[in-house]
Copies of this chain bind each other. A is one copy, B any other.
């Protein structure tokens, strides 16, 4: 058995893989592969409508918000957000809490003035900045709710009188959020929603169409809203697998249940990191992510040996990002407590041997 701790694309439920595999041969007993059906067919319209309605249901998305399944990942949203929300002579506020947050604000600078309200860069992003004021004269305030590389997460929605825009790529659908607090939420699917190739956008309709920009059609949220995510050929298979995954989440009890499990999984692993004399957490304890657990060894010389041991035990993707070093256990929705326990057991074994 493999334990996939990869940071994304990442593990999805085994039953989702099975159903997806079947649909590649024969989708819904149609005699056709899901890969060869038209995106304009009734069968695919049903897929995208159910996916949208499950997102609306699971996240309790209020009226007045549209749900889109686009392409290009969060990196494309870094450009599409200012294109759609930032007037040519306008200003946007950004929180710099990690590599992706920093990339997002660099792209926004190509479209207008960017005010960085706070940054933890000087501390290698080991914490989430908290002491800052959100300007009232900016078009929106952008932040990243979970910093995949550094293993920090922002659980309390910042107070802001201007619309909040949030990159939730790595913690969407892992815990309760109040969508009404946000103007726009985006997330690359390849962590908790589905496979790589599709991007979720939830946007408050009345924020759009105010920049005065002549936006290329393909980057204009309004075009995608009018067309129900079928403005152009969408990523059919990635949306279908996302639907399977959303159904799985709904069937297991929705956000409430998955958040309960995610809390237990994260606590189990952080408790071991704190207890075990060989290991220590990389991020500040108060900002620890429930999705990406970053940790190092007190004696860095042992790290190579431990990593090799994890690989021997079928644990995948535990090497830390080069910006942090050590280890990163990505413990997204579909990763089970069995995999967490396997890692904790190995940490304990290793500590005994190296006592």
Give me the interface of A with B, judged by CB distance under 8 Å. Answer: 1-2, 4, 6-12, 17-18, 20-22, 24-25, 31-33, 35-39, 71-76, 78-79, 103, 106-107, 110, 188, 190, 195-198, 214-219, 231-238, 241, 314, 316-317
- Which 5 A-B pairs have CB atoms at the shortest separation, nearest pair first? A197-B235, A79-B216, A75-B232, A21-B24, A71-B71
CB-CB under 8 A from A198, the residues of chain B are 197
Q: Is the CB of A25 within 8 A of B35?
A: no
A11 → B minimal CB distance (Å): 5
Contact of A79 among B22, B73, B195, B219 (CB under 8 A): B219
Q: Is the CB of A33 within 8 A of B17?
A: yes
A200 → B minimal CB distance (Å): 14
Interface centre among A36, A106, A317 (most CB of B within 10 A): A36
Interface of A is mostly: loop
A58 → B minimal CB distance (Å): 20
Q: Which residue of B is nearest A195, CB measured?
A: B35
How many angstroms between the C-alpha atoms of A21 and B34 in the bound complex?
10
Contact of A78 among B215, B216, B316 (CB under 8 A): B216
CB-CB under 8 A from A232, the residues of chain B are 72-76
Q: Besides the contacts A71-B235, A72-B72, A74-B232, what 4 more A-B pairs have beta carbons closer than 8 Å?
A: A6-B37, A73-B232, A76-B218, A110-B216
CB-CB under 8 A from A71, the residues of chain B are 71-73, 76, 197, 235
How many angstroms between the C-alpha atoms of A214 and B10 in the bound complex?
33
How many angstroms between the C-alpha atoms of A181 and B75 in the bound complex?
33
